[in-house]
Amino acid sequence: MKISDVASQCGLSIHTIRYYEEIGICPAICRGFDGNRCFSAENLEWLTLLAALRDTGMPIEKMKRFAALYKQGDDAVLERKQLLQEHQAALDIQEKQLDQCKALVLKKLSIYDDMLGRKP
Amino acid sequence: MKISDVASQCGLSIHTIRYYEEIGICPAICRGFDGNRCFSAENLEWLTLLAALRDTGMPIEKMKRFAALYKQGDDAVLERKQLLQEHQAALDIQEKQLDQCKALVLKKLSIYDDMLGRKP
DNA sequence: CCTTGACCTAGAGCTACTCTAGGAGGGTAC
DNA sequence: GTACCCTCCTAGAGTAGCTCTAGGTCAAGG
């Protein structure tokens, strides 16, 4: 699987995928005879997870820890679980922020509608 | 009202508030005799809205447009409405990303639980 | 009187990309 | 067969949006 396919499927840009490899948070992407990266199904799954974590605001440092634990294998499952649980808490905060923002925007929009309705 | 009060109430840091003033997205913060900023209720409300928009990913450039429209007054209400509606769409996308990430994390966590349950 | 703490400005530093430059390999059109 | 185009590569510069530091003023408390 080539980089453009992975990019379109996991939602990361080609640049970002290369960047993630460079900083070591996507383990073991092999290369074809032509020097191009070729991605396994495991790579794709991992990058898809990273994309979801990134989209919801996980910082790179945390991804690095997560990737290191992933490389350690089964011994580190408990720590990986804890890390994801921390992220769950972050997701809850975001959900609250999202709801608050939605409410504020709705309020503003109704004020604008009043102003627009009254005027013309 | 002084900057530390506003910071704790609107959720932006003191640094960020000064930065927002500097780039012109918080209109007309007056100064006391000592040179310190003193914030009105309107300032606070505006910064609270900006904080909500920022927390949900609105880029600075868009905030600049929004602030410019706000300064224009009632003539620009329609455009302000359109801008907020665009942001509503962005909020919907974020909500989807949040849900997807939640689902992925739950899946991973249940896999980890299996691994932890099976082993000891 | 001296220290502590909140404020100020100007500007450097940081994170996480994102884009550009410069170059190679491969497929198709004239 | 060579010109053009697309995708890939690396290395490194640029950007957004803060965040922090340095260096300084002023007021209140011990």
Print pLDDT tens along chain A (120 aa).
Answer: 889 999 989 999 999 999 999 999 988 788 888 888 889 999 999 999 999 999 999 999 999 999 999 999 999 999 999 999 999 999 999 999 999 999 999 999 999 999 998 756
How far does A101 lie from chain B, in Å, by closest CA?
5
Buried b or exposed e, range A2-41, using 16+ CB within 10 angstroms: ebeebbeebbbeeebbbebbeeebbeebeeeeeeebebee
Cα Dmax for chain B:
70
Nearest CA in chain B to A89: B102
A81 in B contact zone (CB under 8 Å): yes
Asked if residue B19 keeps its beta carbon closer than 7 A to nucleic acid strand D, the reply is yes
**Cα dihedral: B14, B20, B21, B23 (round 10):** 140
B78 in A contact zone (CB under 8 Å): yes
Cα Dmax for chain A:
69
Hey, is A27 helix, strand or coil? coil
Query: What pTM did the predictor assign?
Result: 0.91
